[in-house]
Structures are given as structure tokens and as C-alpha cells.
Amino acid sequence: WSPALSSGSRGMALSLRRAPPKAALAAAVRRFSSFSPSDLEQYRGKVAADLSGLSADKRADLDKKAGMLEFDKCEATYSAVTFPKAPKAGASKEVMAAYTDCMVAEQAWLDEKLTGAKAHLDKLLAGKLAAGATEAQKRWTAYADPECAQVMAYINELEHDAGLAAKYDMAKWKSPVNVAVTGAAGQIAYSLIFKIAAGEMFGPDQPVNLQLLDLEGASEKVKGVMMEVSDCAFPLVSSVEGFSDPRAAFEGVDYACLVGATPRGPGMERKDLLLKNAEIFSAQGKALNAGAPNAKVVVVGNPANTNCLIGMMNAPNMPQSNWTALTRLDQTRAEGMLAAKAGVGSSDVERVIIWGNHSATQYPDISHATIKGKWAKEVIPNDWYKSTFIPEVAQRGAAIIKARGASSAASAAQATVFHMRDWALGSSGKWTSMGVISNGSYGIGADLVYSVPTVCYPGQYRRVGGVSVDPFSAEMMEKTRKELVEEREAIAHLLGKAAVN
């Protein structure tokens, strides 16, 4: 999408329908004498449709934003792209946001059309050449055959303009998002903070303000982390601040990664651990409720599910769907083990589900999983799945501590990145496990933070519907549900409402 100059006019006609100016068209045609402007226009009419799936409201919104901007002369480009000019110094936030949205739409248009044009060229060549044709033969035919030459001309135009688009630094114009990380002096946060700063969580063009929280006694360590962030000179880091007060740390945050929690000490009962962490997360829930009621929250500190429930119930002004617990680490552990067993890459494993609690009772379910497109249960032996895989996934954290003498900080940080990245940017249709507030689906009941399969869309997630549950899965899911109920009952007085179910 981009606004285009109307025929015979030097003013802007703000339209989503692309009408290539003759000057730009002729400039492209002069480089390829084997076809005429009308031929190219006919081809462009086949390929250069508007952005797929763009709603009428979105078109109107982009038109409105385009009206706030000035545009470069179209003769500077070959494919009738009319890039918006960068806003002048002192431009309003509204104008800068309009510039960002229009440039993102323009770049998306170019990417989409390049992909489509190249696929169309491959299809044409496949029909004109014998199987096994060399790359040299393909290149010759691409330019010598009149039909292919038209497509090649269009590809060259788009690649030229994609190069111009790449020169626009979108990060200069996007407003930073505010990201809080608790337990900032700890090992998980030490890995996580630098991944966020490098753009792994929110994308390579999204600036961030880092708001780091830890206990007052850890303030010197937090300062050291801040010094290292500064030393890295990350282009996407707009600011970094340290806090010991949750209320101040969470003020205005868009995303919160609650990593810090009290670890289980020698001789500490599980109930004591729950109560100790309940104090932390009830305070943090209240602080987020007051300072960032629209923030999206992932709880990493264990026991993550119940800590998440505590924070959520102490934040009545926040949507409960904005609170999640990290079970993505269990999912990636499961994917890695299945890939190793099947002798494939981890990306070949899909639709693994983690049900329930991030604890030894969790249920890593492969009933709906696929491995290189095959049903996982046709690839993985059932006895290994039940006797080895399930307990090893559940006990992986303890195994890592035994092996390296320290917890799985790096993998927990990476899983947190995956969790938030998919939530913020979308999971491209892939299933991902998240601990979310239960709503009665899957027979779980209500008021538990229970891990279920979801699909993420930018800024939201949806539970996967129509998931069948076999008797073995039902038994395993009930076991982990009961543990979560027991945990909830142990801290019911801190939830702000009576425990149920």
C-alpha cells in the first residue's frame, strides 16, 4: 500500500488503489526494451493488488494518516512507490506515529509483492524449461522470454524500491515501549535484559525503556547491570533505570517480566515457600494495578502459576487475561527432547502441549503433536514417552542444577523472550503453551492459572478449541489441577476473594 499521484496532477490523491505514474513506468520500461508500457501495466494489474486482508477500516485509517504527511516524488522510484518524507524536527507524536504506520505498510507491500512475483517467475520457468535446468538456463530464460521478462522487470523494480525502504530507520520513529524486569540482579534477568535490549523480544525496530526492579540490598548489582547495558550501546535502548520500589518501577509499563521470587531454602516446606512468595506478588500485583493497569505480565518466578494468580487477584483493575505464567520453557524442553529422539530439528516438532502447573505434576502432551508432519505418536515409542519423556521434562530443571551446579537461567530467559515475543507480535498460527486464568474449558474449572495451548495474535492470545482429551491425558491433567487447587487454598487469604472449586 502507498498513496499514489493521480494522473496528470502534482498533488496527492490519497488512494489505496495503486495507479503507477507514467514517468516511473517509462523509467522501468527503458531498461527492458522487449515489452511495452501496456504489457507491464497488464502484468502489474495481476500482481500488484493491495495488501492481503487489509480491511476497509484499516485502509481508511492509513489514508487519514497519509494525509498528515508529505511524500517524495514518485519519479525517484521504479514501482510507483511514493515514500512519505520523514517528519520535520518538532513534529507531533501523532505525525510521527502516522509516518511509522505508513512506512510499515509500504515495506509490507514491497515484501509481499516481491514474494509473489518471485513465486510467479518460478512457476513460469518451471513450465518453460525441462526438469533439471541449470541456473544459467533459468537466468537466460528469465530475460529472453517476453513473458518472464515482464515479471523480471517488476522484480527489479520492487528490489530497487525495497532497497530505498530499507534506508528508513523505523526505530527512530517508533515510540519506545516500557518494559519492567524484576529480580534484575539475578541470573535469569542477567540473560533476559540483554535479549530485550537487542530486540529479540519486541523486534529489531522497537525501542525500549528498561525499568529494572530488585531489593534495595541488590541495588549495587543492578547498577552494575545498568552499566553493562550502557556499555553495549544498544541502538534500541532509549533508557534504563533501576528501582527498589515496585510502585515506581511499574509506573506506565507496557510489559512486565516478573522474574524475581524467593527460592526454596533448606528445610522449607512448600506451603512456607508459597506464603513467602505470596507477600512479594501481592505487593507487585497492587503496584501494577495502580501504575500500569493495561500492562501485559508474564510471571517467571516460581511457583509461577500460583504467584501469577496472587498477583492477578490483587490487581482488580487489570484484565485477568493480561496475567500469564511461563510454561514455554517446559514446551521448548519437550520439543528439544522429541527432536533428539526422532533425529530431526526442533523446528520440525509442533503442537506439543504443556498442561497445568510448572512443576513436577505438569503434563507434556504429544497427543496432538506432529514431527515433520507426522503424528508424533507414530514416531515416538509409547513406552519411552510415558516412562522417560514425561518425567524427564518435568524434572529437567533439577537435572540441570545437578549437572552444572546452577539453575537453568539462560533457557528460562530465552523461553521468556519466546513467550512475550509471540504475545506481542503473534505466533504465526503456531500453538504455544501459556499459563492463563482458567475459564472452565478443558474441564479444568475456574480461578486457576493453568497452562493450556494457545495461538497468539499481536497483543492477544486465544485458547485452542476442539482439543480432544483421551483417558490418559484426562488423568494427568486432573493430577496437576489438584496440585494447583492445593496451592491456591494455601494462600486463599491473600487472593482478595474466596478460593473456589
Which residues are identified as catalytic?
358
Instruction: State the distance between the two ends of the chain, measured CA to CA, in whole angstroms.
Output: 52
440 burial class (0-12, 13-18, 19+ CB within 10 angstroms)?
exposed
| Sign of the alpha-carbon torsion through 296, 420, 431, 407 | negative
- Residue 253 to residue 246: CA distance in whole angstroms: 11
Instruction: Judge contact between 467 and 413, C-beta under 8 A.
Output: no
DSSP state of 84: B
Query: 434 in helix, strand or coil?
Result: strand
| Range 25-52 burial, b when 16+ CB lie within 10 A, else e | bebbbeebeebeeebbeebbeebbeebe
Q: Do strands 353-355 and 363-365 pair parallel, antiparallel, or not at all (unpaired)?
A: antiparallel
- Residue 243 to residue 229: CA distance in whole angstroms: 16
- Of the candidates 303, 277, 301, the residue with the CA atom closest to the CA atom of residue 412: 301
Instruction: Judge contact between 484 and 494, C-beta under 8 A.
Output: no
Cis peptide leading into residue 391 (ω within 30°) = no
DSSP state of 256: E
Give the gyration radius of the chain's Cα atoms. 27
Residue type, 63: D
Query: 495 in helix, strand or coil?
Result: coil
- Of the candidates 52, 44, 42, the residue with the CA atom closest to the CA atom of residue 18: 44
Residue type, 60: A
Would you mind telling me the total number of residues written for the chain in this entry?
501
